[in-house]
Amino acid sequence: MSLAQFAKKQSGFTRLNITYQRGETVLAWAMVSPWVAGFLLLTAFPMVASLALSFFEWNILTPPEYVGLANYHKLFFTDPLPMHSLKITVIFSLASIPLNIVFGLTIAMLLNTNIRGLSVFRTIYYLPAILSGVAVAILWQWIFSSDFGLLNTALRVFGIEGPAWLGSKIWVLPAFVIMRLWSVGGGMIIYLAGLQAIPTDLYEAAEIDGANWWQRIFRITLPMLSPTIFFQLITGVIFTMQIFTETFIMTDGGPANASLFYLLYLYRQAFQNFKMGYASALAWVFFIAILLLTLVLFATAKFWVFYEAESDEDN
Amino acid sequence: MSSKGAGLNMRQIISKIIVYLMLGLGSIVVLLPLQWMISTSLKPLSHVFRFPPEFWPQKIVWSNYPDALSQLPFDLYFANTSFIVVLCLLGELIVSSIVAYAFSRLRWRGRNVLFIVVLATMMLPRQVTLIPEFIVFRHLGMIDTFWPLILPSWFGNPFYIFLLRQYFLTHSRELDQAAVIDGCSRFGVFWRITLPMSKPVLGAVAIFSFQFHWNDFFRPLIFLLDQDKYTLALGLRFFQGTFGTEWNSLMAVSLVVMLPLIVVFFFAQKHFIQGVVFTGYK
CA distance B43 to chain A (A): 13
**For chain B, how many structural domains are there in total?**
2
Task: Tell me the per-residue pLDDT of A192-245, one tens digit each, with 9 for 90 and over.
Answer: 888 888 888 888 888 888 888 888 888 888 988 888 899 889 889 988 999 999
Q: What is the CATH number of the domain that holds B97?
A: 1.10.3720.10
Q: Which of these three, B15, B41, B63, is where a domain ends?
A: B63
Nearest to B273 among A12, A46, A189 (CB): A189
pLDDT of residue B146: 96
Q: Which of these three, B41, B63, B85, is where a domain ends?
A: B63
B33 touches chain A (CB under 8 A): yes
- Show residues of chain A in contact with B105, CB under 8 Å: 315
**For chain A, how many structural domains are there in total?**
1
pLDDT of residue B253: 95
B181: number of Cβ within 10 Å = 8
pLDDT of residue B280: 58
Range of the domain at A296: 3-18+70-304
pLDDT classification of B281: cutoffs 50, 70, 90:
low
- Show residues of chain B in contact with A24, CB under 8 Å: 106-108, 186
**C-alpha distances in Å from residue B84, one per residue of A135, A241, B146, B214, B223:** 18, 26, 7, 9, 13
Nearest to B258 among A126, A135, A284 (CB): A135
Task: Let me know if residue A54 belongs to a domain.
Answer: no
A283: number of Cβ within 10 Å = 29
A142 touches chain B (CB under 8 A): yes
B76 and B208 co-located in one domain: yes
Chain B segment 61-120 residues within 8 A of A by beta carbon are: 95, 98-99, 101-112, 114-120
Q: What is the CATH number of the domain that holds A95?
A: 1.10.3720.10
Task: Let me know if residue A140 belongs to a domain.
Answer: yes
Nearest to B26 among A24, A107, A131 (CB): A107
CA angle A147-B240-A141, nearest 5°?
35
B110 and B139 co-located in one domain: yes
Range of the domain at B159: 66-280
pLDDT of residue B167: 85
Looking at every residue in chain B, the average pLDDT score rounds to 88
Peptide bond into B52 cis (omega under 30): yes
Q: Is B258 within 8 Å of A20 when comparing Cβ atoms?
A: no
- For A205-241, letters b (16+ CB in 10 Å) and e give eeeeeebeeeeeeeebbeebbbbbbbbbbbbbbbbbb
Could you tell me the sign of the dihedral formed by the alpha carbons of B254, B258, B263, B269, in that order? Answer: negative
B178 touches chain A (CB under 8 A): no
B239: number of CA atoms within 13 Å, CB side?
A: 29
A9 touches chain B (CB under 8 A): no
Q: Which of these three, B17, B40, B63, is where a domain ends?
A: B63
- Show residues of chain A in contact with B110, CB under 8 Å: 29
Closest CA relative to residue A72, chosen from A270, A282, A289, A290: A282
Q: What is the largest CA-CA distance in chain B?
A: 83
DSSP string for residues in A233-282: HHHHHHHHHT--HHHHHHTTT-STTTT--HHHHHHIIIIIS--HHHHHHH
User: Block means of pLDDT (10 residues each) for chain A, length 315 residues?
Assistant: 54 51 83 92 90 92 91 95 96 96 94 88 91 93 91 91 93 96 91 86 86 85 89 89 94 93 95 94 94 91 74 40
Q: Is the pLDDT of residue B279 over 60?
A: yes
Model confidence, pTM: 0.89
CA angle B234-B238-B240, nearest 5°?
115
3-state helix, strand, coil in chain B (%, to 5): 75, 0, 25
pLDDT of residue A4: 54
Nearest to A138 among B121, B250, B280 (CB): B250
Q: Is A148 within 8 Å of B49 when comparing Cβ atoms?
A: yes
Distance CA B73, CA B230 (A): 10
Angle of helix A81-111 relative to helix A276-304, nearest 10 degrees, comes to 40
Percentage of residues in chain B with pLDDT exceeding 90? 50
pLDDT of residue B282: 46
pLDDT of residue A14: 47
